[in-house]
Structure 1
Amino acid sequence: MKIFVYEFLTGGGLYSLGQSPRDNASLLREGRAMVEAVTTDLAALEFSHVDLLCDARAKLNLHGIPTHSVSSEDEERDRFCALAAAADWSLVIAPEIGGALATRQRWVRQSGGRLLGPGERTTAIASDKQRCAEHLAAHGMPIPPGVGVDGGVLLPPDFPYPAVIKPLDGAGSEDTRLLFSIEDAATFGAPARAARLEEYVSGLPASVVVLCGPEERVPLIPCRQHIADDDRCTYLGGSLPLPEELAERATRLATAAVAALPDPLGYLGVDVVLGEEAARDVVIEINARLTTSYVGLRHAAVGNLAQAMLDIAAGRPGDVRFRPRRIDFTAEGGILRSTRWTEAIC
Structure 2
Amino acid sequence: MAKIFVYEHFCALANPPQTETLPQSLLTEGRAMRDAIVEDLARIPGIAILSGDSSDADDIREQVKRADWSLIIAPETDGILFRLSELVESSGGRLLSPSLQAIFLCGGKDKLARRIDPDIPTPDERPDVYPQVWKPYDGAGSVDTFLVPDAQAAQLLIDRGYGELYRTEFVPGLAASISFLVGPEIILPLKACRQILSEDGRFQYLGGEVPLETNLEQRAIQLGIKAIRWLLAEAPFVGYIGIDLILGERDVLIEINPRLTTSYIGLRQLTESNLAEAMWKIAEGKATEVKWKPGRVRFQSNGQFEIS
Pick one of 291, 311, 330 that aligns with 2:281: 311
Residues 207 and 300, structure 2, Cα contact 8 Å, conserved in 1: yes
Structure-2 change in CA distance of 1:283 and 1:23 (3 Å) = same
Matched residue, 2:102: 122
1:8, 1:14 within 8 Å by CA — same for their partners in 2? no
Matched position secondary structure for 1:269: strand
**Structure 2 CA distance for aligned equivalents of residues 162 and 107 of structure 1:** 41
Output aligned runs, 1:91-170, within 5 Å.
91-136=71-116, 138-147=117-126, 159-170=128-139
User: Counterpart of 2:224?
Assistant: 254
C-alpha root-mean-square deviation of aligned residues, in Å?
Answer: 1.8
TM-score, normalising length: structure 1:
0.84
Q: Distance in 2 between matches of 1:88 and 1:209?
A: 24
Corresponding residue SS for 2:138: coil
Q: 1:6 and 2:4 equivalent?
A: no
How high is the sequence identity, in percent, across the aligned residues? 40
Q: Distance in 1 between matches of 2:158 and 2:66?
A: 49
Quick check: 1:162–1:200 contact (8 Å CA) kept in 2?
yes
Tell me the SS of whatever aligns to 1:189: helix
Partner AA of 1:102 in structure 2 = F
Show the counterpart of 1:329. 299
Number of aligned residue pairs: give it: 303
Q: Give unmatched runs, 5+ long, in structure 1.
A: 55-69, 148-157, 340-346
- Cα distance in 1, alignment partners of residues 49 and 229 from structure 2: 31
Q: In 1, Cα distance between the equivalents of 2:291 and 2:86?
A: 33
In structure 2, relative to structure 1, the CA distance for the partners of 1:232 and 1:14 (3 Å cut) is: farther
The whole-number CA distance in structure 2 between the counterparts of 1:97 and 1:13 is: 18
User: Could you say which structure has the greater relative contact order, defined with CA pairs below 8 angstroms and 6 or more residues apart?
Assistant: 2
Runs of 4+ in 1 over 4 A off after TM superposition: 13-16, 190-194
Offset of 1:13 from its aligned partner? Answer: 7.8
* Secondary structure class of the residue paired with 1:169: coil
* In structure 2, C-alpha distance between the alignment counterparts of 1:133 and 1:161, rounded to whole Å: 20
Please name the residue that 1:274 is paired with: 247
Do the aligned partners of 2:113 and 2:122 also contact (CA within 8 Å) in 1? Answer: yes
Q: 2-side partners of 1:185 and 1:258: how far apart?
A: 34
1:47-89 deviation digits (Å, cap 9, x = unpaired): 11101122xxxxxxxxxxxxxxx3xx6xx21111100111000
Looking at structure 1, the residues matched to 194 and 15 of structure 2 have their Cα atoms a distance apart, in angstroms, of 30
Distance in 2 (alpha carbons) for counterparts of 1:175 and 1:318: 39
Match of 2:36 in 1: 37
Partner amino acid for 2:80? A
Structure-2 separation of matches of 1:319 and 1:102: 30
User: What stretches of structure 2 of length at least 5 have no aligned partner?
Assistant: none
Give the Å deviation of 1:14: 9.1
CA shift for structure 1 position 160: 1.4
What are the within-5 Å matches in structure 2 for residues 61-76 of structure 1? Answer: 70=54, 76=56
Which residue in 2 is equivalent to 1:171?
140
User: Of 77, 83, 101, which residue of structure 1 is paired with 2:63?
Assistant: 83
Q: Give the aligned residue type for 1:29.
A: T
Structure 2 length normalisation: TM-score?
Answer: 0.94
Aligned residues of 1:208 and 1:220 also touching (Cα < 8 A): yes
- Measure how far apart 1:141 and its partner are: 0.5
Could you say what secondary structure the match of 1:46 adopts? coil
Report deviation, 1:319.
2.5
Distance 1:218 1:195 in 2: 34
Do the aligned residues in 1 keep the contact of 2:177 with 2:220 (CA within 8 Å)? yes
Q: Please state whether the residue corresponding to 1:146 is helix, strand or coil.
A: coil
Partner of 2:199: 229
1:12·1:53 contact (CA, 8 Å) conserved in 2?
no
Cα separation, partners in 2 of 1:194 and 1:119, compared to 1, 3 Å: farther
| C-alpha distance in structure 1 between counterparts of 2:45 and 2:175, whole Å | 37
